[in-house]
Chains A and B, each alone.
Chain A
Amino acid sequence: MNWQGWAEIALTLGLALALGWPLGIFMSRVWNKESTWLDPVLKPIERGFYAVAGIDPNKSQGWVGYGASLIAFNLFGFILLYAMLRLQGILPFNPQGFAGVSPDLAFNTAVSFVTNTNWQSYGGETTMSHFTQMVGLTTQNFVSAATGAAIAAALARAFAGNRETGIGNFWADLVRTTLYVLLPLAFVLAVALIGLGVVQNFAASVSATTLDGASQTISVAPTASQLAIKQLGINGGGIFNVNSAHPFENPNPLTNLMTAIAINTLGWAAFFAFGRSAFARKEIRALATAGILILGAGAGVIYVAEAQPAPALVAAGIENPVNMEGKETRFGLAGTAAWAAQTTGASNGSVNGMHDSLMPLGGGMSMLLMMLGEILPGGIGSGIAIMVVMAVLSVFVAGLMVGRTPEYLGKKIEAREIQFAMVALLVVPLSTLGLSALTVVWPGGLSSLFNPGAHGLSELLYAFTSATANNGSAFGGVSANVPWWNTTLGLAMLLGRFIPIVAVLAIAGSIVTKPKLAPSTGTLPTTGALFIGLLVGVIIILGALQYFPALALGPIVEHFQVLEAVAAN
């Protein structure tokens, strides 16, 4: 560890948060249908889109209608992507001649990209054609992110409204977020990344004759266009097997900094957009403060963990035995630690080093950051939505202590809201732990594990945590491309995505009908340090209570085994 490393981590996390502020104001304007400087170019495209698709963007929907539109759009997106994957062999732009993928992998992959998870049971350069990558996967990178953003837009309107019924129009939220926010940013970032070395072409591969006289086949792909939106949309699915560790996806420290910022910045932007659209700027600043505190602590833990003596290097007598296994020279420990925290704190899931080879506490913290609910800052919109649910739960807990009906952002929090909040929060451990346990006892379930001992359990737990949390990163040693894992992980992604979405929309539908109350002397302040402390406590206690027993059997016990192995040398 050194000051340079700490400075790099602080700069990366801080810049992502800082850039989220202006981007959030812009995002709020887009949600609110205010004018933007992009209107002259995009307004005609937007109007044409509505006309062709038969959408009336000004028709405000109730929560059931909003949810039905969302489900219908995602359902057809799934069907289309599944068909594309199965028919890959006869579709164009397939210079490598890849065949259609198996039914279970197609199911897993289609669910994965529609749910903004981007879990990859396959290696990109050995499985997917350019057509699949672009038309299938890149498209879902955009629209799954916009789907998440729509949830936050709807919830913000619910808190802003005073005895209303509508929470906005799903189609307008989807189209406007995609066209005004995601597309322009992705285009600028993609072109800049090409300039910095990211590959972008449609060739099958390049053949090189190495200095040793051997031949080397180098896979290439339209990488920059997908990379930009995989980061900005907090998706995380790489073109290449090793994702952002691949030098073509992440060639140098500058691209690493830019793409690491992109992992978090629109997640934070959705926080600030929510604050502006719900007229709750100060309250949302408190939520962002709680989020960055936990994320910063997580990044610090990972950095410290990776700088601990690694048993294999100690045994070989290496003088500076830090854990460089699975890490790139250009990023080192700090660049990999900051990324690991950002990708798991947001529901991104791209990696710039192999998480399976992280030290036990490094990998364990990455897992915990997902288990805390993907709210640091989480996906675009989906993160702030669940963070607001956490805040609702916090005022409820405080209300129980003082015996008053809790309020949040001027709305009374009553039984219905708390019931749906619990549905949104509890489906996650149910899916994560339930499916993990089922896989442990399922015949052959454990044969997909790669590493022995406690680390093997960590691999399994990480996989179901990642899938349910819609993160998508992995302990990559797992051979997940088998029917049992593809199916159960697909199920975990569906449960972790759509049940919280429906629950949040139900909360929005209930909140929007309530009168907006002015704060009274009895209202718990939801802006200061006291509330931030309460919120951090609720988030961590909830996460720890749910997952501590499982973590104790995986990363925690492995940590003590590492200490023992190092001491034995």
Chain B
Amino acid sequence: MLNQARPAIVSMLLFSAILGGAYPAVVTAAGGALFPAQAEGSLVRNAEGVVVGSKLIGQVTTSPGYLWPRPSAAGDGYNAAGSSGSNLGPLNPVLIERVAADAAAVRAYAPEGAIPPDAVTTSGSGLDPEISPEFAALQVDRIAEARGIEPSEVVAVVAANTEAPLLGFIGQARVNVLMTNLALDSAYPLQPAAE
């Protein structure tokens, strides 16, 4: 065994330098040079240059004029420093109660129309940046009313921020919540809350 010690120790140290040091460093350099925006985290900045979030990370929105995301199990909701799913099993009473409450919350603003499953379930990451087009459609009237615009105008903005499945069958159709909200703000600014 002793004659194995030198190759074992030296190769482990060499591997640590090559694979743990040089490899990530070169990948970081290449990524930063070729794709700086993505490497940084696909951050979105407003006109003043302030980071308002990441295109890839969901965030809590509560104003009725905004599209709302799915329920989230990450911390108090969309804690992007502590991703987490609910881990509730299909028969867990906590899940059954929570889904009922989530459905009631949707019904509060959308009395009509089928509630899609993503509207009442938490995502795996708790940071899902997207919702289904059906869930977005349920929120159109609420958004239009809050902004004082026609529902068709909201529908057009949502459609512009909807992505179809790749090649028609890989992945799902989905609406990016943050990008839709930013597009709504730029086209139809929210009135200052005077009333």
Contacts and interface: CB of A to CB of B under 8 A. Distances in A.
Contact of B100 (A49, A224, A316, A477): A316
A208 B6 contact: no
A319 B90 CA distance: 17
B82 A562 contact: no
Contacts of A521: none
Contacts of A318: 99, 103, 114-117, 120
A187 B137 CA distance: 41
B20 A356 contact: no
A441 interface: no
A171 B7 contact: yes
B87 A312 contact: no
B81 A126 contact: yes
Contacts of A97: none
Contact of A327 (B1, B23, B91, B124): B124
Contacts of B40: 199, 201, 206, 220
A520 interface: no
Interface residues of B, number: 103
B20 A139 contact: yes
Contacts of A517: none
A115 B41 CA distance: 31
B86 A326 contact: yes
A11 B54 CA distance: 31
Contacts of A54: 6-7, 10
A527 interface: no
Given A171-B11, A324-B117, A330 B84 contact: no
A354 B41 contact: no
Given A72-B1, A562-B90, A126 B82 contact: yes
A25 interface: no
B156 interface: no
B51 A357 contact: no
Interface in B33-54: 34-35, 38-43, 50-54
B21 interface: yes
A245 B116 CA distance: 20
A359 interface: yes
A214 interface: yes
A447 interface: no
Given A218-B54, A254-B170, A329-B118, A248 B31 contact: no
A54 B43 CA distance: 48
Contact of A326 (B100, B122, B182): B122
A142 B10 CA distance: 16
Given A195-B34, A209-B52, A216-B80, A76 B12 contact: yes
Contact of A252 (B78, B89, B171): B171
B60 A187 contact: no
A135 B21 CA distance: 6
B28 A222 contact: yes
Given A201-B32, A329-B118, A4 B168 contact: yes
B118 to A, nearest CB: 5
A210 B14 contact: no
A242 B128 CA distance: 12
Interface string B145-161: 00000000000000000
Contacts of B128: 247, 328-330
Contact of A208 (B54, B93, B100, B126): B54
B122 to A, nearest CB: 6
A14 interface: no
A325 B128 CA distance: 12
Interface string B122-135: 11111111111000
Interface in A443-457: 450-453, 455
B15 A328 contact: no
A328 B103 contact: no
Contacts of A8: 169-171
Given A325-B95, A562-B91, A4 B165 contact: yes
A327 B6 CA distance: 47
B181 A211 contact: yes
Interface in A161-186: 171, 174-175, 178, 183, 186
Interface of B: 1, 4-16, 18-21, 23-24, 26-28, 30-32, 34-35, 38-43, 50-54, 56-63, 66, 70, 78-93, 95-96, 98-100, 102-103, 114-118, 120-132, 163, 165-166, 168-172, 174, 178, 181-182, 185
What are the 3 tightest A-B residue pairs by CB atom distance, in nearest-first order?
A: A253-B171, A245-B124, A477-B87
Given A72-B4, A191-B34, A330-B130, 20 more contacts: A4-B165, A73-B12, A76-B8, A142-B19, A171-B11, A187-B23, A218-B81, A220-B40, A224-B27, A226-B24, A313-B99, A313-B121, A317-B115, A322-B117, A324-B117, A328-B125, A336-B124, A351-B124, A353-B124, A476-B87
6 contacts: A53-B14, A72-B8, A224-B27, A329-B174, A331-B172, A359-B90
